[in-house]
Chains A and B, each alone.
Chain A
Amino acid sequence: MIRQFTTNEFLFILTAVRWTLLLSLIAFVGGGLAGLGVALARTSPRGWLRHLATGYIQVFQGTPLLMQLFLVFFGANILGSGIDPLLAAAIGLTLNAAAFLGEIWRGCIQAIPKGQWEAGTALGLGYWTRMRHVILPQAAKIAVAPTVGFLVLLVKSTSLASIIGFVELTRAGQIVNNATFKPFLVFGIVAAIYFAICWPLSLWSKRLEARFGVVAR
């Protein structure tokens, strides 16, 4: 039976945005924390840590996010307990975001002139003090623009959670489309909602880049 597209369907789609936003937030916070670790490991003076981080980044940037989500989802099944799709998506996206943010922030850390490192060492600062008070505050400034840019990618990426069965914005659109058979209307609305989230972020990122992004290269 074909249903009509009414305000109910519209609201169903619109309220599903919160799951997209929640998932983005979890992955961003989790990926940010882990990503800082990856970036520090990637720039570490210890060779094995650098190799480990390089391998991690290469694997996550060299394989499809969809496969990463599948592996988390089905891997958890192997471990015995089934896994909630939200949790699986959150873990997968967090691991993925950690690799991307780690690589972005590595660039920002390495963009800080060598003299700053040497000055820190000359002052007798240890690794952590130097990082915290000299390098990271400067690197953070360059990092803002590409990080906001990555946020756009992350929000779009959460749409893949629909494939492992988590009902967020994309899945909600699919459900409504299956019932109403109005693909242009339904997915047009879904696309417009994503656009409304992502476009301001893109513009913001571009503005930030114009302000202090030039140094980043």
Chain B
Amino acid sequence: MNYVFQFQEVFAAWPELLRGAWLTISLSAGAMALGLVVAVFGALGKTMGPKPVRWLVDVYVEVIRNTPFLIQIFIIFFGLPRLGIQLSANQAALIAMVVNVGAYATEIVRAGIETIHKGQIEAGLALGLRPLQVFRHVVVFPALRTVYPALCSQFILLMLTSSVVSAISAEDLTGVANNIQSQTFRSFEIYLVVTALYLGLSLAFSAAFAGIWRVVFARQDRR
């Protein structure tokens, strides 16, 4: 092997990489936030809605979970303009990510809701707690506890999956890497650096999520 690794061109492009990484983070965070809204409605529809609504939520969740994200993006990016909705690659990426993570999060939130038994609410009221206190201590907090770890791993999964949006030439971290690659032909070096960046991002986010868990939830345990 007489290949000479050259990283200087890759490192020279750090402002672009930074911008790409920032888009990856903001796309993931935005999609997660909007996806959670979808998920709350989905989970409510699934647990309390009338039959047709429950059926619709089921179809949504199953279709999204059993088809590749790449195909979902293609349908949105190539399909929606046919309906007269013009989208930039980044917008299409965000929509696809919301639709995708919404389905997974629906299942997570539903599981969270189902951990709360009616009896617990009644018990809270019987103990003389006011309804708002019951809601806070008996419903929201335990449900969040159940849901939090799963949502955190879902977020990291989403961030890693989001590299696929580069396939429709969105300018996320991978998209930027593709651009640099086509200008410098330093394919291996650029993807090695970007892979390391992704790894750094996922480690940083898991550490941050674990920290939040310790502050918010673990303290509750000690009581």
Instruction: Give the interface of A toward B (CB within 8 A).
Output: 58-59, 62-68, 70-71, 74-75, 77-80, 152, 156-157, 159-160, 162-163, 170, 173-174, 177, 183-184, 187-188, 190-191, 194-195, 198-199, 202
Q: How far is the CA of A156 from the CA of B195 in the complex (A)?
A: 21
Identify 20 new A-B residue pairs, CB closer than 8 A, beyond the known A62-B156, A177-B74, A191-B63.
Answer: A58-B203, A63-B202, A64-B198, A67-B174, A67-B194, A67-B195, A70-B191, A71-B191, A74-B188, A80-B1, A156-B68, A159-B68, A159-B69, A159-B70, A174-B74, A183-B78, A191-B75, A194-B68, A198-B65, A198-B67
Determine if B199 and A62 form an interchain contact, defined as CB atoms under 8 angstroms apart: yes
Determine if A67 and B198 form an interchain contact, defined as CB atoms under 8 angstroms apart: yes
Query: Smallest CB-CB separation from B174: which chain A residue?
Result: A66
Kindly state whether residue B3 has any CB partner on chain A within 8 Å: yes
**Chain A: minimal CB distance from B66 (Å):** 4
Known contacts A62-B203, A152-B66: A67-B79 contact under CB 8 Å: no
The 10 residue pairs across chains A and B that have the minimum distance between CB atoms: A183-B78, A64-B163, A159-B68, A198-B66, A74-B187, A62-B202, A156-B68, A67-B195, A74-B188, A64-B160
Q: How far is the CA of A72 from the CA of B191 in the complex (A)?
A: 10
Kindly state whether residue B219 has any CB partner on chain A within 8 Å: no
Which of A80, A174, A191 counts the most B-chain CB atoms under 10 A from its CB?
Answer: A191
- Chain A residues, Cβ within 8 Å of B160: 62-65
Determine if A70 and B187 form an interchain contact, defined as CB atoms under 8 angstroms apart: yes
Q: How far is the CA of A175 from the CA of B67 in the complex (A)?
A: 19
Kindly state whether residue B62 has any CB partner on chain A within 8 Å: yes
Determine if B199 and A170 form an interchain contact, defined as CB atoms under 8 angstroms apart: no
Q: How far is the CA of A194 from the CA of B65 in the complex (A)?
A: 10
Give the size range of B's interface with the partner: 35 or more
**Chain B: minimal CB distance from A14 (Å):** 15
Determine if A187 and B79 form an interchain contact, defined as CB atoms under 8 angstroms apart: yes
**Chain B: minimal CB distance from A176 (Å):** 12
Determine if B70 and A162 form an interchain contact, defined as CB atoms under 8 angstroms apart: yes
Q: List 6 A-B contacts (CB under 8 A).
A: A64-B198, A70-B187, A71-B191, A173-B74, A194-B68, A195-B67
- Chain A residues, Cβ within 8 Å of B66: 152, 156, 194-195, 198-199, 202
Determine if A177 and B78 form an interchain contact, defined as CB atoms under 8 angstroms apart: yes
Kindly state whether residue B129 has any CB partner on chain A within 8 Å: no
Cβ 8 A contact of B163, one of A62, A67, A157, A188: A67
Kindly state whether residue B125 has any CB partner on chain A within 8 Å: no
Cβ 8 A contact of B71, one of A71, A79, A187: A187
Determine if A191 and B202 form an interchain contact, defined as CB atoms under 8 angstroms apart: no
Which of B70, B82, B156, B161 counts the most A-chain CB atoms under 10 A from its CB?
Answer: B70
Determine if A159 and B199 form an interchain contact, defined as CB atoms under 8 angstroms apart: no
Determine if A66 and B188 form an interchain contact, defined as CB atoms under 8 angstroms apart: no
Beta-carbon contacts under 8 Å, B156-207 to A: 156, 160-164, 166-167, 174, 187-188, 191-192, 194-195, 198-199, 202-203
Beta-carbon contacts under 8 Å, B1-33 to A: 1, 3
Q: How far is the CA of A206 from the CA of B28 in the complex (A)?
A: 28
Cβ 8 A contact of A194, one of B1, B71, B82, B192: B71
Determine if A159 and B71 form an interchain contact, defined as CB atoms under 8 angstroms apart: yes
Determine if A183 and B198 form an interchain contact, defined as CB atoms under 8 angstroms apart: no
Known contacts A64-B163, A77-B188, A199-B62: A160-B70 contact under CB 8 Å: yes
Known contacts A74-B188, A78-B3: A184-B75 contact under CB 8 Å: yes
**Chain A: minimal CB distance from B100 (Å):** 11
Q: How far is the CA of A86 from the CA of B37 in the complex (A)?
A: 40
- Chain A residues, Cβ within 8 Å of B63: 191, 195
Q: How far is the CA of A68 from the CA of B191 in the complex (A)?
A: 9
Beta-carbon contacts under 8 Å, B63-110 to A: 63, 65-72, 74-75, 78-79, 82
**Chain A: minimal CB distance from B65 (Å):** 7
Cβ 8 A contact of B188, one of A78, A152, A195, A199: A78
- Chain A residues, Cβ within 8 Å of B3: 78-79
**Chain A: minimal CB distance from B168 (Å):** 11
